[in-house]
Chains A and B, each alone.
Chain A
Amino acid sequence: MNKLEFSSLYQLTMARFRLLFREPEALFWIFIFPILLAAGLGIAFRNRPADVLPVAATTPQLTQALAADKGLNAATMDAPTGTHSLATGSILLLAIQQPGGVAYQYDDTNPDARTARLIADRAVQAAGGQREAVHAQNQLIHETGSRYIDFVIPGLLGMNLMGSAIWGLGFAIVEARQKKLLKRLVASPMPRWQYLASFLLSRLLMLVIEVVAFLGFAGLVFGVPFRGSLWQLAFLCVLTSMAFSALGLLISSRAKTMEAASGLMNLVMLPMWILSGVFFSASRFPAVLQPFVRALPLTAANEAFRANMLQGTSLSHLAAPVAILLAWLIVPFALALRIFRWR
């Protein structure tokens, strides 16, 4: 029997741990699910070699001219067949030989078709004897850090930290309230702050496992870059997790049933899943919405994670997102302590 044995903060934190590790579903959502999601997205959005665009021409000579460019796959077909193929999407462009020139049929709202138009015209002009006015040379770069998986991993990290903090705290607290355990605990000499602190402590320890497993997977399997300081990244993870824990505490500070709590959690998290730039950049939303989108904790977290990991930005240049996260840590926590219902 050592001293820890008699420390209520230690016992409360250990109880949190035991309860979490004895809940297989919780472990799945916290550890396995994010990795599965990252793996799925990584496979779906892997970088493929540049596509060869299917096109057609009405005369063999024209087809030959088009086929000279490696970026095009050209076939010969008459005008009605070609129009039909265009309509069904099996070709992107039809080049029609006309007296005195060539006409291109394509859909200018389709980016691939516009590309096909540029390449086809270049091939036709070259076949017609046009020479380059300026000599140009291609240098191809496939850089890590600019792929979709590089973009989405920091976003998933933020989303994962949000989910585990809000769900982890929210459900446990509301369940304890519903089962009158909270009431029993405050009837004992337990210092109340220690109960809440035990959640934050266990969250911090879980965070280490959670983040290392997820980012380790992303780094090893997808080669996602870590260009910033790892210590600063760790700090950002802790700050993010604490801010969302405070939010989780606020959500669960009065709810009496699990149904009420899970409704509130979805209400809080759903806008952030959509608006905060997890799967696509938050800058896609209209300018009117931007101040609101920027003020969300998940937007700030994702922005900071991306800046650290992808651009190697140091904390001193991340004052804005850090300040937003700090505000989301302090205000909900203070509010939650004020209105928390123990019974």
Chain B
Amino acid sequence: MKDGLRTPVAGSAASPPLLLRGLRKAFADVQAVDGLDLEVAPGECFGLLGPNGAGKTTTIEICEGLTDPDHGTVELLGLNWTTGANQLRQRIGIQLQETQFPEKLTVEETLRLFRSFFRHGVSVDESIRTAQLEEKRGSRVGGLSGGQKQRLAMACALVGDPELLFLDEPTTGLDPQARRHLWDLVDQLKLAGRTIILTTHYMEEAERLCDRVAIMDHGRVIALGTPKQLIATVGGEDIVEFAVTHSEPGAQHSVRGVVNPAQLMAIPGVQSHRVDAALHQLSVSELHTTVPRIFAALAAEGLHLSEFRTHSATLEDVFVRLTGRNLRDE
């Protein structure tokens, strides 16, 4: 792994790696990106998180100079695509969604090809080592697994020793093991101090990898911050979900119970409450003392729990709180 960035080129030292102002892009009648402002700091791993169709890919492709925005400005490393395209292409690394490299070239041949496009960069051997493809260097691309293909795409993005790296849905379609493997690779790149911008619709991926996350929906940023900050906006560290039945003496069958929200909110430690299809969701702090109080309150009402579970609050809960929808409902 090569350490650190190249010496910053004059003029870009003070500029943020990425600066977006008032970005808009429409396709036919769909407003894919609808007024976007973002700034990414050097050495940061920045995540664009959102459901499919939120505008993540359009945003990242505008940043990569592949799509022209209708409005707004894009600045990368102090340069823009109108006047600095050639220089920018040399200084950024790109991994696109669903690129299929020629199946009959080998890993090494593919990397040599991509390496030849860059004036400066790491050696082919080094990029193979970084992507942990040593055993596959002589294999044809067609024979690689999904995870290996994705690591090859990553290696192709790294051969130019980029100052800024774009990863568009790097783990979509991979099995859990291949996904963790790729996360380790991104960790290494972060340690080496590279600025990384990635899109994903996996909240756990964004939480695990990103220093800061922008949650996108319908072409807008609806929340921005570190994963911790965002999760804190949910109001508690843990989420309690339950459903109840009301059992009256002599009733033929139990019916769905009715809970008074005000009563729940009155329990110390409960921060918020919402109901979704008869499933109650509470965000709570201090799970160990709050849960017994919830049990007690429900029992006092003559309600029985038919479902009960808790989990630590995630970015998913942030998205649900902000939009009322689940990330993967789309």
Contact = CB atoms under 8 A, between A and B. Distances in A.
Interface of A: 5-8, 10-12, 14-15, 18-19, 22-23, 176, 179-181, 183-184, 186-190, 343
Contacts of B114: 188
Nearest to A191: B117
B250 to A, nearest CB: 66
Contacts of B118: 188-189
A15 B114 CA distance: 11
B66 A183 contact: yes
Given A10-B116, A12-B116, 17 more contacts: A7-B116, A8-B117, A11-B113, A11-B116, A12-B113, A15-B109, A19-B104, A179-B100, A180-B100, A183-B99, A184-B101, A186-B66, A188-B94, A188-B118, A189-B86, A189-B117, A189-B118
A187 B96 CA distance: 9
Nearest to B110: A15
A189 B104 contact: no
Given A19-B104, A190-B117, A5 B96 contact: no
14 contacts: A7-B116, A14-B109, A15-B102, A15-B109, A18-B104, A179-B99, A180-B96, A181-B100, A184-B156, A187-B64, A187-B65, A188-B94, A188-B118, A189-B89
A189 B90 contact: yes
Contacts of A19: 102, 104-105
A234 to B, nearest CB: 30
A12 B98 CA distance: 21
Contacts, number: 69
Interface string B83-123: 00010011000101011111011000100111111110000
A22 to B, nearest CB: 4
B104 A22 contact: yes
B160 interface: yes
Interface residues of B, number: 26
Given A11-B112, A183-B66, A188 B117 contact: yes
B197 to A, nearest CB: 14
Contacts of A187: 64-66, 89, 94, 96
Residue from A5, A188, A343 with most neighbouring chain B CB atoms (10 Å): A188
A11 B98 CA distance: 23
A189 B119 CA distance: 9
Contacts of A10: 116
A179 B99 CA distance: 6
B113 to A, nearest CB: 5
Given A5-B116, A11-B116, A15-B113, A184 B99 contact: yes
Contacts of B99: 179-181, 183-184
Interface in B35-61: none
Contacts of A6: 115-116
B100 to A, nearest CB: 4
B7 to A, nearest CB: 19
B146 to A, nearest CB: 15
